[in-house]
Structure 1
Amino acid sequence: MLDVKEILSVSLILFSVIDILGSIPIIIAIRRREGRIYAERATLISAFLMVIFLYLGQSILHLFGLDVASFAVAGAIVIFIVALEMILGITLIKDDPDAKGSSSVVPLAFPLIAGAGTLTTILSLRAVYHEWNILVGILVNLVFIYIVLRSSSWLERVIGKSGFAVLRRVFGVILLAIAVKIFKTNVFPA
């Protein structure tokens, strides 16, 4: 059953974790290096990864003898760290320099959009929100991601570096509160 409040919550959580606005400098660097951004392919591959993990992530956990609540707590810790990075402007989780792709799709779709933080968050959300609301939240984010990828050069001119810095910190605080909520919900269930 679709619930507007849940869809909004899921959409904001994923928006904060994906942080496509905070990734504009990376997107611009990729565009300059590759010559263009393949927005359609990057968005579709990201969608595939997120939906597959929504449905198969739990099976993968069972394979390792884990439950969703445990994974949700682990995800909350990862989200907490990402939020600290956003608020403090530091890098705690470093990318593997050997994992760079030759096309703009690889670094954009994975790990930038549908990376470990996003996939962990999607599985964590399953412990709190209804599946259909998560799917709609994913779709809302994919539409926004596509728009941002298509208009990255325009956004670079309009918002500027200081605007992105402010947005990144605001969403970092929201993400921090969300991490606490997910942790509290799964450690101290009502």
Structure 2
Amino acid sequence: MDILGIAVLIFLVTDPFGNIAIFLAALKGVAPERRLKVALRELLFALVLLLLFLTFGEKILSALGLSREAIAIAGGIILFIIALRLIFPTPQGVLGDLPDGEPMLVPLATPAVAGPSALAVLMTLRNTHQGHLWELYLAVLLAWAGTALILLQAAFLQRFLGPRGLIAIERLTGMLLIMLSIDMLLDNLQSVLHIAP
């Protein structure tokens, strides 16, 4: 996968369109003049978490003694589950009830943007990417910039797209993630079973 492909994958997993409602709900209790600052702060926290996990995630996996194929297959399964949740959401939403007041780190930075799924995908990419490490860092920055651009315009996008438009985009994201996860699973199962593509 090239840098753009990796960035798109990370962007899809961070699910900015699905997080619009979460951002709006979490910022509802914040003073209107502070909402943009708080949202930007939370997005910067999320970026730091993503970069830290990309940097140190490999050490965690090495300490656990996990193989490259096992990590990639697990990443594919996690992507598949995320995609199913996007296509068939639960009534309580992704994060359940949100606390009142100004959010700090939780629930916007994590688990909304830098959630377990995004961190698992970064671990998988770090162990399976054949290119230079800077390519992964650049892909994370590109994906985060796209996510931040959408979430900082959350109120406008909600008015423009409406609830049905947001749901449609989230379902489409889920379909794309299912295709990516199946491709990831097939590639790594072929590697484990020594089957030529």
> Would the TM-score normalized by the shorter structure come out above 0.5?
yes
> For the residues of structure 2 that align with 1:160 and 1:43, how far apart are their CA atoms?
23
* CA-based RMSD: 2.6
Aligned counterpart, 2:69: 69
Does the CA contact (< 8 Å) of 1:7 and 1:134 recur in 2? Answer: yes
Structure number, greater radius of gyration: 2
> For the residues of structure 1 that align with 2:71 and 2:92, how far apart are their CA atoms?
20
Which piece of structure 1 moves more, 32-41 or 106-115? Answer: 32-41
Does the CA contact (< 8 Å) of 1:75 and 1:124 recur in 2? Answer: yes
- TM-score, length-scaled by structure 1: 0.85
Aligned counterpart, 2:120: 120
- TM-score, length-scaled by structure 2: 0.83
Aligned counterpart, 1:45: 45
Does the CA contact (< 8 Å) of 2:20 and 2:158 recur in 1? Answer: yes
Does the CA contact (< 8 Å) of 1:73 and 1:183 recur in 2? Answer: yes
Aligned-pair CA distance for 1:73:
1.3
> For the residues of structure 2 that align with 1:20 and 1:71, how far apart are their CA atoms?
25
Aligned counterpart, 1:57: 57
Aligned length: 186
- Which residue identity does 1:113 align to in structure 2? V
- The CA deviation string for residues 36-57 of structure 1, in whole angstroms up to 9 with x for no partner, is 2513321221111111111211
Q: Secondary structure in 1 aligned to 2:53?
A: helix
> For the residues of structure 1 that align with 2:130 and 2:170, how far apart are their CA atoms?
25
Which of 136, 156, 165 lines up with 2:158 in the alignment?
156
> For the residues of structure 2 that align with 1:78 and 1:44, how far apart are their CA atoms?
25
Which piece of structure 1 moves more, 174-183 or 64-73? Answer: 64-73
Unaligned runs of 5+ in 2: none
Aligned counterpart, 2:107: 107
Which of 24, 27, 31 lines up with 1:31 in the alignment?
27
Which piece of structure 1 moves more, 129-138 or 19-28? Answer: 129-138
> For the residues of structure 2 that align with 1:69 and 1:169, how far apart are their CA atoms?
29
Percentage of matched positions with identical amino acids: 28
Specify whether residues 115 and 129 from structure 1 end up closer, same or farther in structure 2 by C-alpha distance, changes over 3 A only. Answer: farther
- Which residue identity does 1:153 align to in structure 2? A
Specify whether residues 169 and 105 from structure 1 end up closer, same or farther in structure 2 by C-alpha distance, changes over 3 A only. Answer: same
